[in-house]
Structure 1
Amino acid sequence: MSDTPLVDCHAHIWTADMPVVANPRHRLGYDFTVEQYLKVLDEHGVQLGVIAAASPFGDYNDYTIESLRRTKRLRGTVILDPAVGRYELEGMARDGVVGVRLPFINRTDLPDLTSFDYRRFLRRLRDLDWHVHLHVEGHKLPALLPALEASGVKIVIDHIGRHSAEEGVAGPGFQAMLAAIARGRTWVKLSAGYRLGPHATEHARALLREAGPERLVWASDCPFAGHEGQFSYRSTIDWLIEAIPDAEPRRRIFAETPVGLYFS
């Protein structure tokens, strides 16, 4: 599909014996190891991958970091307490961590991103040229994006923004996302369309039309936590081919844009 390495910008790895937070979104009583993931990439001609911190494990990032140390094919995001120190972040950066995931999905109480703790945290991420990997429902984006943008940190929004069909592309959440993209430090993952419904394709096409391929990346969401056995890795590639039928922007979404964002 491209001479530039193809990049899967969102997958999870874990072992069944890892510690789990109270009341996790998903209970994952099986292994999906880094070796299994790399085998999947090889089977599908995908050269590079980005490991996304999985919320059931909270800030237990040990397995992700250990896996990043073992191969230059991977980058990763982690979940951290905002009080984390600069030296710890610098060590993670050397290991291949490039961002922090904010798993705010299903939360009724969003944190105050203008507090000192978060302003200090976001400044440290900005100084390291990391990104905030934001996982939240689309209608909450207008409440979160202003403080994130004011911090100067790069922003990568999960799963097409998780906008509902009812709100649609004209809704305030989608429009806030487009405005953030236009200001130049925000990207969106075209991923997990299977979690969103038929409108995912419409939203992906609207993003391409309004934002262009320079701000879009593809991701598999492998191994489909909570939907195991219902989808194949190949189906996530086929979905992007269907959603973005023009080969040139699709090539940039599969390859050039994510290489520049995660591996430059």
Structure 2
Amino acid sequence: MTMRVAADASETKSAKSAPADVPPVVDCHAHIFQEDMPLSSNAWTRTNYSFTAADYLSLLDQYGIHFGVISGLSISGFYNDYMISELRKHKRLRGTAIVSPATDRYSLERMRDDGIIGIRLQLARMTELPDFRSEEFNLLFRRVRDLDWHVHVAIEGPLLPPVLKALEESGVKVVIDHFGHPDPALGVNCPGYRAILKAAERGNTWVKLSGGFRLLGTAAWRTNPDGDADKIADDLAKHLVANVGVERLLWGSDCPFVGYEGRITFDYALDRFRRWVPDPQDRWRISQTALKLYFG
């Protein structure tokens, strides 16, 4: 049954406590795109279909989810145009944009007015990382701080510690994608994952419970490697709930599951959230965290 959509975030936040079990209030990770959008030079795949804002909102309505956060589409690089045009129309949506480090304050302010609430550093599959202490990134991160945005990071876990350290030094809020993508052989012992735990303790870092099916590696969508992604995600989720706490966790569907179309469904994503966080009150608290971070 589809739940009534709240008029705005404040209406949803006014609830004092959750019913015994409700859908998530916010889906914190999804993508929208058109089939003919330009591709970046380092795109890891291409889509042969469109997944529009209307498609996504219809899906949210079907499952009784009020709000959605659109992640900048890595394969289209700095082309945020379609996402921004849809954010202007649909106040139930927010987004994170992939931007050049030279983006000026005025452009960022316009993005903010259109519904952008952070920037995305899409670093997965990169052979060489930028210098995040360079002058241009120092300026970008200061502008992110001044706008009270966050930096949304996608990177393989073994490469995360120096990036996270540089971000923390800049003073920005940080949201880590997909459990932090730890090395599947190391799990909770991956250095990047351990760095996330310490950063979360310091109070300016959040972690997304999303994309568990991606945890066998960034090439797993095409290589079918050995391993059990569900088991890795289950172990990480249990550890995060116990050691980070639900106030630092977010949930995202990752729909439409780019690279995994036909194998992953929205039902699967919701089922995994219930499995990762079995207590309905904890899931409700995760929703409140998302409302405050993205719609507060």
Which TM-score tier does this pair reach, normalised by the shorter chain? Answer: over 0.9
Q: How does 1:25-104 map to 2 (within 5 A)?
A: 25-104=44-123
Residue in structure 2 matched with residue 195 of structure 1 by the alignment: 214
* SS of residue matched to 1:169: helix
1:161 correspondence with 2:161: no
Task: Report if aligned partners of 1:4, 1:256 keep a CA contact under 8 Å in 2.
Answer: no
* SS of residue matched to 1:174: helix
Deviations along 1:214-238, whole A, 9 cap, x unmatched?
Answer: 0001000000000111111011111
* Poorly superposed stretches of 4+, deviation over 6 Å: none
* SS of residue matched to 2:133: coil
Deviations along 1:85-118, whole A, 9 cap, x unmatched?
Answer: 0000000001110011100001121111111011
Q: Give the counterpart letter for 1:229 in structure 2.
A: G
1:22 correspondence with 2:79: no
Task: Report if aligned partners of 1:21, 1:56 keep a CA contact under 8 Å in 2.
Answer: yes
- Percent identical among aligned pairs is 49
Question: 1:247/1:145 Cα in 2 relative to 1: closer, same or farther (>3 Å)?
Answer: same
- Structure 2 unpaired stretches of 5+: 1-17, 216-228
Q: How does 1:232-251 map to 2 (within 5 A)?
A: 232-251=265-284
Deviations along 1:194-247, whole A, 9 cap, x unmatched?
Answer: 111120110011011001000001000000000111111011111011111122
Deviation (angstroms), 1:13:
0.3
Within the candidate set 257, 260, 267, 1:227 is matched to: 260
Residue in structure 2 matched with residue 261 of structure 1 by the alignment: 293
Residue in structure 2 matched with residue 204 of structure 1 by the alignment: 237
Question: 1:202/1:4 Cα in 2 relative to 1: closer, same or farther (>3 Å)?
Answer: closer
Separation in 2, partners of 1:181, 1:230? 32
Deviation (angstroms), 1:5:
6.8
1:105 correspondence with 2:124: yes
Deviation (angstroms), 1:138:
0.7
Residue in structure 2 matched with residue 252 of structure 1 by the alignment: 285
Separation in 1, partners of 2:165, 2:40? 29
Separation in 2, partners of 1:194, 1:88? 35
Deviation (angstroms), 1:4:
9.5
Deviations along 1:240-262, whole A, 9 cap, x unmatched?
Answer: 11111122112212x11100110
- Give the TM-score normalised by structure 1: 0.97
Q: Give the counterpart letter for 1:73 in structure 2.
A: R
* SS of residue matched to 2:188: coil
Task: Report if aligned partners of 2:157, 2:190 keep a CA contact under 8 Å in 1.
Answer: no
Deviations along 1:55-74, whole A, 9 cap, x unmatched?
Answer: 11110100000000001100
Separation in 1, partners of 2:35, 2:118? 24
1:11 correspondence with 2:8: no
**Aligned residue pairs, count:** 263
Question: 1:148/1:139 Cα in 2 relative to 1: closer, same or farther (>3 Å)?
Answer: same
- Give the TM-score normalised by structure 2: 0.86
Residue in structure 2 matched with residue 148 of structure 1 by the alignment: 167
Q: Give the counterpart letter for 2:263 in structure 1.
A: Q
Separation in 1, partners of 2:131, 2:160? 13
Q: Give the counterpart letter for 1:160 in structure 2.
A: F
Separation in 2, partners of 1:14, 1:173? 30
* SS of residue matched to 1:77: strand
1:213 correspondence with 2:213: no
Task: Report if aligned partners of 2:40, 2:76 keep a CA contact under 8 Å in 1.
Answer: yes
CA RMSD of aligned residues (A): 1.3
Deviation (angstroms), 1:169:
0.9
